[in-house]
Amino acid sequence: MFYQEIKFGTAFVLEEALSSQILGYVCGIQVLDEFSLTNISVKKDYQNRGFGFQLLEYVLARLIADSCKYCYLEVRVSNTKAVSLYEKFGFEKIGIRKGYYSNPIEDAYLMRLELTNTIKRRVK
């Protein structure tokens, strides 16, 4: 599924300039004016340095430039850091997907961001 998203969807990679080491990536699929963010990840040693923020900011700017109206994602209920990041950008919880994740089984928040001409960030 991951390779299909890269091949047929949208994928961006964040590389370290000197070593070309991959620090993080984001994948998703756009259908008409809606984008589904399917995966965003930052290498463990590079987390909490703003790279996830940069990746998400870049993707949202691209979506706005492409006249996309909505961005959706699912996130583990227990992933409070990710939920907090998404909420800083203006994502809202619009539902819960029961048992969405496996290993371990866990619910997911369904979140949505209505895109406008500017990125809505609620950085505190």
Give catalytic status of residue 57 as yes or no. no
Nearest to 31 by CA among 12, 13, 11, 9: 9
The one-character DSSP state at 77 is: T
Q: How far apart are CA 109 and CA 72, in angstroms?
A: 10
Pairing type for strands 92-101 and 70-76 reads unpaired
Q: Which of 74, 87, 101, 106 is catalytic?
A: 74
Nearest CA-CA partner of 55 in 25, 84, 76, 21 = 25
Please indicate whether residue 86 is annotated as part of the active site.
yes
Residues designated as active site: 74, 86
